[in-house]
Copies of this chain bind each other. A is one copy, B any other.
């Protein structure tokens, strides 16, 4: 933006990434005397907590994706740019994009987020897609729906059973939500639509390496979640490590007993996340540290050591929460934390512009929630009056309204509520659209 003749040039802020962290940082700089360039490699902000609904055909993509440009149309100090960042030059203070664009900055907020990690076994990606982007969600939707179609066409009983075995790897919130929803699709949505198979016979397995699902939750809620999953017909197997995956199934080593083979044609990866590779490149350029997950270790105020003009927020940051009188505690990789970090980094930019000292980041934990299908969930809230835990139907309702409330945009909220109301009453999932019926990859 041009600045009024005669006034001092406005500080240039570049924000990389329009997830929860970048979005909140941009909003928080609304009235600041800065020009913001918001760079993202997609044209939309994605409401990731509901991505599993797109993957399981409950929602269409536009219901959870808002065009970035449209979100900031009225915030005049924002220029939105669809581009991929190639590198950051902390000496020249410029960001280079892959299409030869160069963005100079006075302040930089890096909120490039995370992707899924196969713990060094990237060859598993073809056989067990993860869930981070809309394309990931379409791929999982395609595989799930085509598995039932292939089973209907298959005449060999063993191969038919393989098509009807769904394995979700990873018992975090995404894995639990995916497994619960798959069980509902098999038991409630599809029965009556096939003539040769009974979709209700499908097996859904949830494998988790640690001793319990939803590790971020208190133990009793993990137990309740596992029980609710089993009630839906999910085989929950904790303490089960996956040692290999191929086109026809996977090998599992349980905590007790002998390793075994699971035949399956549809495996979904919900196990690991790794920070965006941009983190490592940024660390190399600035001398910052990265942790094992590739997250950049930041100062208490979320800036980089020796580079107060660069902040890293969200899933890309290895940050700590600073509460006076307490030991700094690691900040979890959840969306409320990303939002709070985005706001904190923006506020610190404003403080620096005013010549004030920055403030250390303090994470306010309001709790944790997860849903398990249409009617069940677990909630663990931290309120001013203490901790509140509940599960079952009230937890599901709470989860639903919390998610709809935080959805970006009035319109999306109504659409999602309508979709869910109609799915709830009809037990149907309306986004069952597959455009590419190529079969899943084989070993050959």
A62 B432 Cβ-Cβ under 8 A: yes
Q: Per-residue 0/1 for A420-444: is the Cβ within 8 Å of any B Cβ (1 yes, 0 no)?
A: 0010001010111111110000000
Q: Which of A193-201, A305-313, A338-346, A347-355 makes up part of the contact surface? A: A193-201
In the assembled complex, A387 has its CB within 8 A of some CB on chain B = no
Q: Which of A78-86, A115-123, A369-377 makes up part of the contact surface? A: A78-86
B43 A149 Cβ-Cβ under 8 A: yes
A436 B193 Cβ-Cβ under 8 A: no
Which residues of A come within 8 Å of B, CB atoms? Answer: 1, 41-44, 57, 60-63, 65, 67, 69-70, 73-74, 79-84, 99, 101, 133-135, 138, 145-146, 149, 152-153, 192-196, 411-412, 414-415, 418, 422, 426, 428, 430-437
A135: which B residues are within 8 A, CB to CB?
435-436
B43 A81 Cβ-Cβ under 8 A: no
B43 A434 Cβ-Cβ under 8 A: yes
A412: which B residues are within 8 A, CB to CB?
430
In the complex, A403 Cα to B57 Cα: how many Å?
Answer: 24
B79 A196 Cβ-Cβ under 8 A: yes
What is the chain B residue whose CB lies nearest that of A196? B79
What is the chain B residue whose CB lies nearest that of A60? B60
A61 B433 Cβ-Cβ under 8 A: yes
Which of A134, A138, A411 has the most chain B CB within a 10 Å cutoff?
A411
A42: which B residues are within 8 A, CB to CB?
434-435, 437
Contact of A60 (CB < 8 Å), options: B62, B194, B435: B62
A44 B101 Cβ-Cβ under 8 A: no
What is the chain B residue whose CB lies nearest that of A428? B70
9 nearest CB pairs, A to B: A60-B60, A62-B431, A67-B432, A82-B149, A69-B193, A73-B193, A79-B195, A60-B62, A65-B433
Q: How far is the CB of A75 from chain B (nearest CB, A)?
A: 11
In the complex, A203 Cα to B62 Cα: how many Å?
Answer: 27
In the complex, A153 Cα to B195 Cα: how many Å?
Answer: 53
A69: which B residues are within 8 A, CB to CB?
193-194
In the complex, A84 Cα to B73 Cα: how many Å?
Answer: 45
Contact of A81 (CB < 8 Å), options: B133, B153, B414: B153
Given contacts A60-B431, A62-B432, A67-B432, 10 further A-B contacts (CB under 8 A): A61-B431, A80-B193, A81-B152, A82-B146, A82-B437, A84-B437, A134-B433, A138-B435, A411-B426, A414-B418
In the complex, A194 Cα to B436 Cα: how many Å?
Answer: 34
In the complex, A62 Cα to B141 Cα: how many Å?
Answer: 13
B411 A62 Cβ-Cβ under 8 A: no
In the complex, A70 Cα to B431 Cα: how many Å?
Answer: 12
A146: which B residues are within 8 A, CB to CB?
82
A99: which B residues are within 8 A, CB to CB?
153
In the complex, A143 Cα to B215 Cα: how many Å?
Answer: 43
What is the chain B residue whose CB lies nearest that of A84? B437
B192 A1 Cβ-Cβ under 8 A: no
Q: How far is the CB of A440 from chain B (nearest CB, A)?
A: 13
In the complex, A44 Cα to B146 Cα: how many Å?
Answer: 12
A194: which B residues are within 8 A, CB to CB?
69
Which of A194, A411, A422, A433 has the most chain B CB within a 10 Å cutoff?
A433
Which of A57, A80, A134, A437 has the most chain B CB within a 10 Å cutoff?
A437
In the complex, A70 Cα to B135 Cα: how many Å?
Answer: 24
What is the chain B residue whose CB lies nearest that of A73? B193
Contact of A44 (CB < 8 Å), options: B193, B428, B433: B433
A431: which B residues are within 8 A, CB to CB?
60-62
A70: which B residues are within 8 A, CB to CB?
193, 428, 432
In the complex, A135 Cα to B436 Cα: how many Å?
Answer: 8
A61: which B residues are within 8 A, CB to CB?
60, 431, 433, 435
In the complex, A308 Cα to B406 Cα: how many Å?
Answer: 61
Q: How far is the CB of A330 from chain B (nearest CB, A)?
A: 32
- Can you list 18 contacts pairing A with B, beta carbon distance less than 8 Å? A1-B195, A42-B437, A43-B432, A43-B433, A44-B432, A60-B60, A60-B62, A61-B433, A67-B432, A67-B433, A70-B428, A79-B196, A80-B193, A80-B195, A82-B153, A84-B437, A135-B435, A135-B436
